Structure 1
Amino acid sequence: MSSRVISRIINDILLHKCDCGRTIGLRKGYLVKYLKEVNNGLKIPYRHYATGINLKNAPRTKPLVRSRTMVLNTFYTTLPILIVAFVCVEYKRRLKSQAVQDRVRLQKEEKPIPLPTLMSKLKNEADLKDLEFTRVELEGEFDHDREVVIGYRANQQPHLTPKGSRWQKGVYIVTPFKLKETGDTVLVNRGWVPLQLADPKARVGGQVTGTLKILGLLRSTEKKNPFDFRPSQDSFNEKFFSYLNVDDIAKYLGTKCVFVDAVSSFPDGPIGGQTKIAYSHSRRDEILMLMLILGSIALFWFTKIHPQRAAARYAKMYFSSKHQANKM
């Protein structure tokens, strides 16, 4: 409380003059106590008052809306459009993966097609792409001396991983399979093995010989990871392939361009059923993430950018109308 306010309270409120002209006040201790109570209750801030000053709108030293460069304006405009485009693409891919899952689920209830009857339709890799995930039946024998591996891969059935092994680290065993009926040789992915069993000598019991029947799904060349800069075939180990490229493996082994994923496992051998088609959950997560990013951008626009621009427009309209009124 300022001294001027205190003196005014003392002169006008606490002290008064009687009819005889004497000034009558309160007791000394009570006056101090009363002033403290007034000060604590009112908490009047210290202010300087001046009279005769004509208050006007001070000129703005900073713009109401920060100016941005053309690069930032282009970025802020194209970013939501790109996110919407990515969401549409991911949604389309999710629908495609769901259609593949439904087709495979329906084929499990149907009788498998003998592979020799489809060999006339599988002349190149494009034909294999059209018939991908078709359930087929094969009869013949393996050529274990020419098997190759595809790595490194995780086991799609981790509950069947051998004890002492890690399901995240392993390879696929791809073995040429000679059909009994036609004599053609195709490629069969027998399944997954841990790294310590990649050598055929470490799994002699799983090297099945003789004529046998197997069930599987037709597969085509998988899409390579754009961040994987390794070649399809290792230059130091010709039997090691970094990803599934049916054409390269078929040319190396001299077989037909037909690749089959075995559905069942082999005793003491690779773990079958490694067909990976469950992409819907990952697609859904990506779509949700992109939608959250788009929502955050929209929220930032309507809470920060849009009010500033609206305030600038309203201020411009107000001052222009006021200027026209002054002219009139």
Structure 2
Amino acid sequence: MRGQPKAETVRDPEEKHNQSRRFARCLPGLAWRPSRSGSSSAEATAAKAHDDAFLQWFLLLIPGTAFGLGTWQVQRRKWKLKLIAELESRIMAEPIPLPADPLELRNLEYRPVKVRGHFDHSKELYLMPRTMVDPAREARDAGRLSSTAESGAHVVTPFHCTDLGITILVNRGFVPRKKVNPETRLKGQIEGEVDLVGMVRLTETRKPFVPENNPERNHWHYRDLEAMARLTGAEPIFIDADFKSTVPGGPVGGQTRVTLRNEHLQYIITWYGLCAATSYLWCKKFLRRPPAV
């Protein structure tokens, strides 16, 4: 009848369920899935916070390490200054009689000693190449790329100590290359008994890039006291004769070069400066002030 609403068609619930399943299969991209956007965002935030914390404490190692190295250099500088003071005191001390036992000399390097005896010029050894110790010239050449020093050798001569009954090795001093041959400096070959004052020197080990000694050619690049003693029949005892031992036409004595590098103050400034700079950068990055309200 007109005016009356049509009755709804009653469908079986199972049929409605089957239709819903078919509809879902036709539109798989529209099928409902649980939302993970909130969970993923939280995980990413947590991972970033963990990475930032690791980076923060890892970068803190840089100023910490620099501070530790600077403090270590402070201690090294104190040790070096004490060593320099002891060395200066030893060099300026009054000469003592030379001990006959080489073992007693281990703690006496750079200590002035006095001996009496005569030279055996027939067994000279040559430490070469060497330049003459000249503080005035070295001051003039400071900062230059080349040196004006003349190359030559140190003349090492066996010396028989009359009072001790032993033969030692004495570095008589520097001669230029043209005077290495003893025939060219006969006037300077001292004869008879003499009194000498010199500084005790210990044996050396070969440093990197230094050539090997060549005993066959009598070219010695470093002090190998055992080898020198075997070749000359002397004891492994070595002294540098002082400048007063110099005679006209002979080697120039006083060729002991005492150098102790003390650059620890520069290292202290470098390490503490690096510590301050990296600490400032670390604080600027990780210790940000909260925004004003």
Q: Same fold (TM over 0.5)?
A: yes
Q: CA deviation at 1:236?
A: 5.8
Q: d(CA) in 1 for partners of 2:173 and 2:191?
A: 16
Q: 2:237 aligns with which of 252, 258, 262?
A: 258
**1:114 pairs with 2:97:** yes
**Other structure's SS at 1:106 match:** coil
Is 1:289 paired with 2:266? yes
- Mapped partners of 1:250, 1:142: distance in 2: 15
Deviation for aligned residue 1:142: 0.9
Of 194, 199, 202, the match for 1:212 = 194
2:37 matched residue in structure 1: none
8 Å contact from structure 2 (residues 214, 220) kept in 1: yes
Distance in 2 between residues matched to 1:70 and 1:230, nearest whole Å: 49
The amino acid that maps onto 2:221 is: S
Distance in 2 of aligned mates of 1:229 and 1:200? 26
- What TM-score comes out, normalization by structure 2 length? 0.67
Aligned-residue RMSD, C-alpha: 3.6
Quote the Cα distance in structure 1 between the aligned partners of 2:72 and 2:186: 52
SS across alignment from 2:198: strand
Match of 2:249 in 1: 268
- The alignment status of 1:308 with 2:289, answered yes or no, reads no
Cα drift, residue 185 of structure 1: 0.7
Distance in 2 (alpha carbons) for counterparts of 1:169 and 1:292: 38
Q: Distance in 2 between matches of 1:197 and 1:269?
A: 9
Q: How far apart are residue 255 of structure 1 and its match?
A: 0.8
Q: What's the TM-score once normalised by structure 1's chain length?
A: 0.60
Q: Distance in 2 between matches of 1:70 and 1:310?
A: 12
Taking structure 1 as reference, are residues 275 and 170 closer, same or farther at Cα in structure 2, changes over 3 Å only?
Answer: same
1:106-130 Cα distance to aligned partner (Å, 9 max, x none): 32xxxx3333xx21xx2x3x42122
After superposition, residues 185-224 of structure 1 pair within 5 angstroms as 185-222=167-204
* Cα separation, partners in 2 of 1:272 and 1:235, compared to 1, 3 Å: closer
Change (3 A) 1:77 1:215: same
Q: How far apart are the structure 1 equivalents of 2:56 and 2:284?
A: 20
Taking every aligned residue pair, what percent have the same amino acid on both sides? Answer: 26
Unaligned runs of 5+ in 2: 1-44, 139-146
Q: For residues 21-59 of structure 1, give each alpha carbon's deviation from its aligned partner in whole angstroms, at most 9, with x where no partner exists.
A: xxxxxxxxxxxxxxxxxxxxxxxxxxxxxxxxxxxxxx9
Counterpart residue number, 2:110: 133
- Kindly indicate whether the alpha-carbon contact (under 8 Å) linking 2:69 and 2:271 is maintained by their aligned counterparts in 1: no
Bigger relative CO (Cα 8 Å, ≥ 6 apart): 2
Task: Return the match for 2:220 from 241, 246, 269.
Answer: 241
Q: Aligned to 1:179, which of 142, 146, 161?
A: 161
Residue 87 of structure 2 aligns to a residue whose secondary structure is helix
Gaps of 5+ in 1: 1-58, 323-328
Count of residues in correspondence between the two structures: 236
Secondary structure of the equivalent of 1:95?
helix
CA distance in 1, matches of 2:74, 2:127: 32
User: Conserved in 2, the CA contact under 8 Å of 1:136 and 1:218?
Assistant: yes
Relative distance call for 1:106 and 1:306 in structure 2 (3 A) is: same
1:261 maps to amino acid? D
For the 8 Å contact 2:120–2:159, the answer to whether it is kept is yes
| Contact kept? 1:91, 1:287, Cα under 8 Å | no
